[in-house]
């Protein structure tokens, strides 16, 4: 009998931990690339299975067709929108820099349109220094637009890093789609958990990823498109840019899109365009808001079984920690957290039920 077996096992586990941490450090520069390659592969996996069944088990051909569909349905539209968005951001930055778009002047109009009681309240807290506020707002808007413009232009350039990341994502997507079932079986067999727990957690993981990405992106796209169209009809410049901002903010349940159309409606009211302001409020509340209240519970909450407040807090926390990827990882961690505690509760209930049954059998025997 090997007396050093516990020592060897401990050394092996330490080695396993070390190489796992080392791999995480190596993949850290491509975290977003690996994450979205895996997410896209998970979403398109049903398409791959359908094609494999129809093409006589030819997985390579099916994976190639699935990759082509992903490019046509997801990558190409996002590329076209990104190109147009970059132009809009550059145009907005040029207007702010030239002075034709003066955020401070708009703020001044809103303040002067307020009731006298509110103006007196602002004056009490030294918030009526309109020239100073106007200068600070204009400077801040210029800095923000310059930052966005430079970031957007740098992202829009075909750099080596962007090209490599894109190719790695597509390459990873192809193999994960083709070999997804085998990889899933391998990961499942390696996880040191009870089989019932593994199946429950893997099912929850898959469901939350698909529901979060497909549901939230669908809701965000619809709200951003509706908001952009509404702003374009009302004559707001850069409607595509503001629609894209609404799409990003729509990832936050309940409050997202209103952070854009709400201030625009206030501006319309303050400048005397009451009809436009009222129309935007009605459209934003009844149409854009209804999309969030109807589609999100159906596409996200129904599958993830997470309350809206949990989705909101976990999304905000995820985005604040790791950026845009947090809108997926935040709710995922929250769902797994709730699932683990739910499994613990189930185990305790089953153990208590088994203990009572054993006591009852003992009493009957006596």
Give yes or no: residues 49 and 146 share one domain: yes
CB atoms closer than 10 angstroms to residue 91: 15
User: At residue 41, does pLDDT exceed 60?
Assistant: yes
pLDDT grade, residue 53 (50/70/90)?
Answer: confident
User: At residue 365, does pLDDT exceed 70?
Assistant: no
Mean pLDDT: which of 34-48, 78-92, 223-237, 295-309 is highest?
34-48
Residue 13 belongs to a domain = no
Which residue, of 190, 212, 233, is where some domain finishes?
Answer: 190
Give yes or no: residues 173 and 197 share one domain: no
Give yes or no: residues 174 and 209 share one domain: no
Cα-Cα-Cα-Cα torsion 190, 191, 195, 197, nearest 10 degrees, comes to -160
Q: What is the extent of the structural domain holding 55?
A: 30-190
Residue 19 belongs to a domain = no
Residue of 347, 349, 26 lying closest to 168 (CA atoms): 26
Residue bearing the bigger pLDDT, 308 or 155? 308
Query: CA 186 → CA 31, 195, 207, distances in Å?
Result: 22, 13, 19
Mean pLDDT: which of 41-50, 84-93, 301-310, 335-344 is highest?
41-50
pLDDT grade, residue 65 (50/70/90)?
Answer: very high
Residue 12 belongs to a domain = no
Distance CA 67, CA 174 (A): 6
User: At residue 230, does pLDDT exceed 70?
Assistant: yes
Residue 234 belongs to a domain = yes
Average pLDDT, the chain: 74
Give yes or no: residues 179 and 245 share one domain: no
User: At residue 257, does pLDDT exceed 70?
Assistant: yes
Distance CA 112, CA 108 (A): 6
User: At residue 21, does pLDDT exceed 80?
Assistant: yes
Residue 155 belongs to a domain = yes
Distance CA 236, CA 242 (A): 9
227: its two tokens: 């908001």
Distance CA 69, CA 83 (A): 21
User: At residue 270, does pLDDT exceed 80?
Assistant: no
Query: Which residues make Cβ contacts (< 8 Å) with residue 130, sequence separation at least 6?
Result: 107, 108, 111
- For the entire predicted model, the pTM comes to 0.65
If you average pLDDT over residues 69-75, what whole number do you get? 86
Which residue, of 190, 213, 247, is where some domain finishes?
Answer: 190
pLDDT grade, residue 120 (50/70/90)?
Answer: low
Give yes or no: residues 268 and 169 share one domain: no
Residue 366 belongs to a domain = no
Give yes or no: residues 62 and 181 share one domain: yes
311: its two tokens: 């989705």
User: At residue 167, does pLDDT exceed 80?
Assistant: yes
User: At residue 12, does pLDDT exceed 60?
Assistant: yes
User: The tokens 């201030």 sit on which residue?
Assistant: 263
Residue of 177, 235, 219 lying closest to 46 (CA atoms): 177
Domain count, the chain: 2
Distance between start and end Cα atoms, the chain: 44
């Amino acid at each position: 009998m090997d007396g050093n077996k516990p020592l060897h096992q401990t050394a092996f586990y330490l080695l396993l931990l070390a190489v796992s941490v080392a791999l995480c450090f190596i993949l850290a520069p491509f975290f977003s690339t690996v994450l979205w390659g895996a997410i896209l592969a998970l979403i398109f996996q049903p398409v791959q299975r359908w094609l494999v069944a129809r093409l006589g088990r030819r997985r390579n051909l099916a994976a190639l067709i699935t990759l082509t569909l992903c490019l046509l349905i997801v990558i190409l539209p996002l590329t076209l929108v990104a190109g147009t968005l970059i132009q809009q951001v550059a145009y907005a930055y040029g207007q702010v820099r030239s002075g034709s778009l003066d955020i401070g002047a708009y703020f001044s109009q809103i303040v002067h349109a307020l009731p006298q009681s509110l103006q007196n309240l602002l004056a009490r807290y030294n918030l009526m220094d309109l020239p100073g506020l106007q200068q600070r707002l204009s400077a801040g808007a210029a800095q923000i637009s310059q930052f966005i413009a430079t970031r957007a232009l740098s992202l829009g350039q075909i750099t080596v890093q962007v090209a490599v990341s894109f190719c790695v994502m597509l390459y990873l997507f192809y193999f994960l789609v083709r070999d997804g079932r085998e990889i899933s079986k391998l990961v499942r067999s390696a996880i040191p958990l009870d089989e019932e727990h593994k199946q429950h957690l893997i099912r929850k993981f898959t469901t939350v990823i698909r529901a979060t990405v497909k549901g939230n992106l669908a809701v965000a796209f619809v709200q951003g498109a509706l908001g952009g169209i509404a702003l374009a009809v009302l004559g707001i410049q850069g409607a595509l840019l503001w629609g894209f901002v609404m799409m990003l903010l729509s990832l936050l349940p309940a409050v997202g899109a209103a952070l854009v159309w709400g201030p625009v409606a206030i501006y319309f009211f303050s400048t005397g365009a009451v009809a436009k302001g009222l129309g935007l409020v009605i459209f934003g509340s009844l149409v854009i808001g209804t999309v969030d209240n109807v589609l999100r519970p159906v596409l996200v909450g129904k599958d993830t079984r997470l309350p809206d407040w949990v989705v909101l807090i976990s999304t905000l926390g995820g985005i604040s920690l790791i950026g845009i990827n947090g809108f997926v990882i935040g709710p995922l961690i929250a769902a797994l957290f709730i699932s683990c505690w739910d499994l613990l509760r189930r185990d305790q209930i089953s153990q208590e039920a088994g203990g009572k049954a054993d006591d009852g059998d003992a009493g009957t025997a006596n």
